[in-house]
Amino acid sequence: MIRMINMPMPKADILVVDDNEMNVRVLEALLVSRGHDVRVARDGEEALEQIDKKHPDLVLLDVMMPKIDGFQVLENVRSNRETELIPIILLTALSDIDSNVKGIELGADDFITKPFNKSLLMARVRNLLRGKNLLDELESVDAVIAMTAKIIEAKDKYTEGHVERVTTYAVKLGEAAGLEEWDLRNLKRGALLHDLGKIAVPDAVLNKEGKLSEEEWKHILLHPSIGADILQDLKSLKAVVDIVLHHHEKLDGSGYPDKLKGDEITKESRIMAIADIYDALTTTRSYKKSMSPETAIRILQEEAQAGKLDSELVMLFSRLVKDGIFDAISE
């Protein structure tokens, strides 16, 4: 005998979309009894208006409706960057395989055939809301990362805007290099946090006018290791640690801190190296004036020819610069 475990369900804002009044009443009563806030739309047009007005945590969407059917609503929601991740359960009287496949292909998270089983429906609602909560937590992590990056950057008056620029360069290059969405997310996080270790570098060193002494450089050389150590125990940022630790490594082993060579360096860390160097070259620092993008690209190409940087990635980055992808970015 299977024992049902009554797990707590997070309170949510749920939009019920159905033109059948009886279905609406049943669903509304069921969801309200579980503590949820329920909104109702009785056709596809009203559903889209409600979603645009306030993004719900979950949508229960009937397929067969007047004006705009559920498939069209689903397609519209998934094509909008701001609403594409809203969980959607299709409620349908259609039992044929083709309709189910169409719903999945359009991006439905789940579907229930009417008349629906209440226990099964609520179990699926519970699971999707847990996933939504996890996604919201990840977005909260990104907000904290962005704030942390600004705090670190504020320590160094010569690198204002550096983190945002490097993040833009790295993500665009990652996209051009064909990184998957999850890898791009980690690359973005790594770019935002790549200088985290500078929080332990004395302000006098970071803001010194002119070149650094050998002793002062030792502080700078430690910042990747310090940043990685800070992040090491954070499970949600485990994939970011390597990027923070190795963004100064070179393919020929001349980088730091671990003097990695070739395939020992991940693609994400190679991308970060190019983005970081390009920004350093094209911005004014205490010890140098800024270079033109053309000069910076030439230096990157020379580094690639010398076996220090990934030549394919440098070629892709050069193309992005030439195509004006970064023209709107100013120092």
Share of the chain above pLDDT 70, in %: 91
Task: Decide if 267 is inside a domain.
Answer: yes
**198 a catalytic residue:** yes
Last residue of a domain, one of 71, 101, 133: 133
Which DSSP category does 19 fall into? Answer: S
Last residue of a domain, one of 104, 133, 162: 133
- Predicted pLDDT at 159: 64
Task: Decide if 331 is inside a domain.
Answer: no
Which among 247, 200, 251 has a CA at the least distance from the CA of 224? 247
Same domain, 204 and 309: yes
- Predicted pLDDT at 53: 93
The residue ranking higher by pLDDT, 231 or 313, is 313
The pTM score is 0.63
Cβ contact 91:69 at 8 Å: no
The per-residue pLDDT for range 206-242, each reduced to its tens digit, is 878 778 888 988 988 999 999 999 888 877 788 899 9
Task: Decide if 314 is inside a domain.
Answer: yes
Q: What's the average model confidence in pLDDT over 276-288?
A: 85
Which DSSP category does 10 fall into? Answer: -
Average pLDDT, the chain: 88
How many whole angstroms separate alpha carbon 232 and alpha carbon 262?
24
Q: What's the average model confidence in pLDDT over 309-317?
A: 98
Catalytic residue among 132, 172, 188, 198: 198
Which DSSP category does 90 fall into? Answer: E
Q: What's the average model confidence in pLDDT over 84-100?
A: 81
Same domain, 175 and 312: yes
| One-letter amino acid for residue 319 of the chain | R
Give residue for tokens 């909008």: 80
CATH code assigned at 115: 3.40.50.2300
The per-residue pLDDT for range 102-131, each reduced to its tens digit, is 888 898 988 888 888 888 889 889 888 888
Beta bridge partners of 61: 17, 90
H-assigned helices in 10-161 = 21-33, 44-53, 70-78, 97-106, 118-153
CA atoms within 13 A on the CB side of 193: 30
Same domain, 92 and 227: no
Q: Which of these ranges, 62-71, 134-143, 315-324, has the smallest mean pLDDT?
A: 134-143
Cβ contact 57:13 at 8 Å: yes
Q: What's the average model confidence in pLDDT over 80-94?
A: 86
- Predicted pLDDT at 42: 93
Same domain, 205 and 305: yes
Structure tokens belonging to residue 264: 């020992």
Which domain does 45 fall in, by range? 13-133
How many CB atoms lie under 10 A from the CB of residue 260?
18
Same domain, 119 and 181: no
Q: Is 223 helix (H, G, I), strand (E, B) or coil?
A: helix
Same domain, 126 and 158: no
Same domain, 190 and 110: no
Task: Decide if 143 is inside a domain.
Answer: no
Which DSSP category does 2 fall into? Answer: P
Which among 237, 309, 240 has a CA at the least distance from the CA of 270? 309
Same domain, 184 and 279: yes
Task: Decide if 139 is inside a domain.
Answer: no
- The phi and psi torsions of 249 (rounded to 5 degrees) equal -80, 155
Number of structural domains (the chain) is 2
Same domain, 174 and 260: yes
Task: Decide if 299 is inside a domain.
Answer: yes
* pLDDT greater than 80 at residue 34: yes
Tell me whether residue 1 is exposed, middle or buried, using C-beta atoms within 10 angstroms of its C-beta: 0 to 12, 13 to 18, 19 or more: exposed
Task: Decide if 205 is inside a domain.
Answer: yes
Cβ neighbours for 217, distance < 8 A, ≥ 6 positions apart: none
Q: Is 183 helix (H, G, I), strand (E, B) or coil?
A: helix
Structure tokens belonging to residue 179: 């990184």
Same domain, 100 and 159: no
- Predicted pLDDT at 149: 76
Same domain, 20 and 71: yes
Q: What is the Cα 12 distance to its own chain's centre? A: 23
Which DSSP category does 307 fall into? Answer: T
Angle between helices 118-153 and 162-176 (to 10 degrees): 130
pLDDT confidence tier of residue 29, bands split at 50, 70 and 90: very high
Last residue of a domain, one of 133, 168, 188: 133
- Predicted pLDDT at 141: 67
Task: Decide if 96 is inside a domain.
Answer: yes
Same domain, 200 and 312: yes
The residue ranking higher by pLDDT, 132 or 150, is 132
Q: Is 63 helix (H, G, I), strand (E, B) or coil?
A: coil
* pLDDT greater than 50 at residue 3: no
- Predicted pLDDT at 188: 94
* pLDDT greater than 70 at residue 5: no
